[in-house]
Amino acid sequence: MTIRTMLLWSFYLITLTAFFRVEADGQVVDRVYHPYVLANEHRLEWRFMSRQTDEENYLAQRIGFGHSVNERWILELYLIGERDIEGNFGLEAYEVEARWMLTEQGRYWADWGMVFEVEKRHSKEQWEAASGLVMEKEFGRSSLTLNWFMIYEWGDALKDELESEFRLQYRYRWMPQFQPSIEFYSGEDYVGMGPAIMGLQRFDGQKQLKWELGFITELSNIGKDHTLRFALEYEF
């Protein structure tokens, strides 16, 4: 089986799973992943996410450190903090993430990668595992990025369940420091869309600073549901 055939079958199967009706209780809006890995890459990352609805004001942050194992794989470790119902902010989970660049950039009609994640709740026997297929296609100065994720949860006080999520980003690469985009997110009982901007500043060698800012509005239900997300990465 050629790599093109494998990717087409993966695309077909994961697209089907994106429409499964499964119960989901997590936050759907997050980073839209790109399929690229740099050899000898180190990275520090900070993500901030605030979701406001008529019922809650959810706040989460994560700090991560990553290192590329080779020119195709990168591993990252995250500490995740959340604000509880009493308004206190503290450590809530740990996560290990691996990203795999399946194809060389520009070699095929689209660039492909995969993401694997395992999360453990702090002081609880609650686990979450996720795998996702990532695709990016460039059209001149525009880029279309798609993410399909399957997520499985299990552990104490959790009903074992399989969830699916879909993320889309259409980005215009106006200049490296300013790239406006539109983002779309879909999960069970959630459909959201909104504007985002991202940019990067390159320094000596492969050192660069990346940033992202997005404001996503939930579309599938009546009522207030807005999510603000921000990410800052330093690669060296």
Question: Tens digit of pLDDT for each residue in 100-131?
Answer: 999 999 999 999 999 999 999 998 999 999 99
Using 50, 70 and 90 to split pLDDT, how confident is the model at 161?
A: confident
Task: Give strand ranges (E) for 38-87.
Answer: 42-53, 57-68, 73-83
What's the pLDDT at 19? 44
What's the pLDDT at 220? 78
Whether pLDDT at 57 is above 80: yes
DSSP-assigned letter for residue 36: -
**What is the distance in angstroms between the CA of the first residue and the CA of the last residue of the chain?**
37
Partner residues linked to 22 by β-bridges: none
- Picking from 194, 201, 199, 208, the residue whose alpha carbon sits closest to that of residue 179 is 199
d(CA 33, CA 184): 13
Query: For the residues 177-200, what does the mean pLDDT come to?
Result: 95
What's the pLDDT at 129? 97
- Picking from 146, 118, 123, the residue whose alpha carbon sits closest to that of residue 33 is 146
- Which string of DSSP letters, residue by residue, matches 158-223? ---EEEEEEEEEEEE-SBTTBEEEEEEEEETTEEEEEEEEEEEEE-STT-EEEEEEEEEEE-SSSS
Mean pLDDT of the residues in the chain: 89
Percent helix, strand, coil in the chain (nearest 5)? 5, 60, 30
Which residues lie closer than 8 Å to 17 by C-beta, 6 or more apart?
148, 150, 164
Whether pLDDT at 15 is above 60: no
Query: For the residues 8-17, what does the mean pLDDT come to?
Result: 50
d(CA 109, CA 9): 15
What's the pLDDT at 22? 37
Using 50, 70 and 90 to split pLDDT, how confident is the model at 219?
A: very high
User: By the 8 A CB rule, do 150 and 17 touch?
Assistant: yes
Whether pLDDT at 3 is above 70: no
Which tens digit of pLDDT belongs to each residue from 66-96? Answer: 999 999 999 999 999 999 777 789 999 999 9
User: By the 8 A CB rule, do 29 and 51 touch?
Assistant: yes
Domains and CATH numbers, the chain: 3-235 (2.40.160.40)
Which residues lie closer than 8 Å to 14 by C-beta, 6 or more apart?
133, 148, 150
Q: How large a percentage of the chain has pLDDT more than 70?
A: 89
Q: How many residues does the chain have?
A: 236
